[in-house]
Amino acid sequence: MKIDELDVRIVELFSEDAGIGVLAASRLLGVARATVQSRLDKLRAAGVVQGMAPTLNPANFGYPVMAIVSIEIVQGMGHVPVGTALREIPEIVEMYTVSGDHDVMVRVVARSNDDLQRVLDSVSSASAVNRTRSVVVLQTHFQNRVLPLFAHVGGAAERNAE
């Protein structure tokens, strides 16, 4: 899919304020409302934009501790049973199957270090989990940083057109 500078500007606007609305965005961008709407529709249909949901920060509603946990699963079980079991733990906010020494990586949040221990015990008790290793995140420098990449792609399209 071709992404241009207008697509980038639209996505940036809605990323900064998901509730801005198409009409307000069109006024700020100096383009027709229908143009903004059709661009958003095109980006959604292509799966580039997957929603306009609010971004939640667990630290701001009582979960300031974060850890990255690597999980080795029981051989022969596959990743589906571990995914099913871990989905039941609400403090697990991301899960990835990975290559390398471990089979799964998860990002977990907790209310405190003691609460983190409880969450890790829940992870370890899943029948498909053989072993875990965890590291506590001390500071988040950035996360979910996709907008600069999207802007780069949109800018590259403009440069290639010249």
Q: In what order do the strands lie in the sheet with 129-137?
A: 92-97, 104-110, 65-73, 129-137
SS3 for 92? strand
- The half-sphere exposure of 38 on its side-chain side, counting CA atoms within 13 A, is 6
For the stretch 117-131, pLDDT in tens is 999 999 999 989 999
Exposed/middle/buried for residue 4 (C-beta within 10 Å: 0-12, 13-18, 19+): middle
pTM for the structure as a whole: 0.80
The token duo for 71 is 């999980």
For the stretch 145-161, pLDDT in tens is 889 999 998 876 555 55
Cα 119 to Cα 132: distance, rounded to the nearest angstrom: 12
**Where do the domains of the chain lie, and which CATH numbers do they carry?**
5-54+144-161 (1.10.10), 58-137 (3.30.70.920)
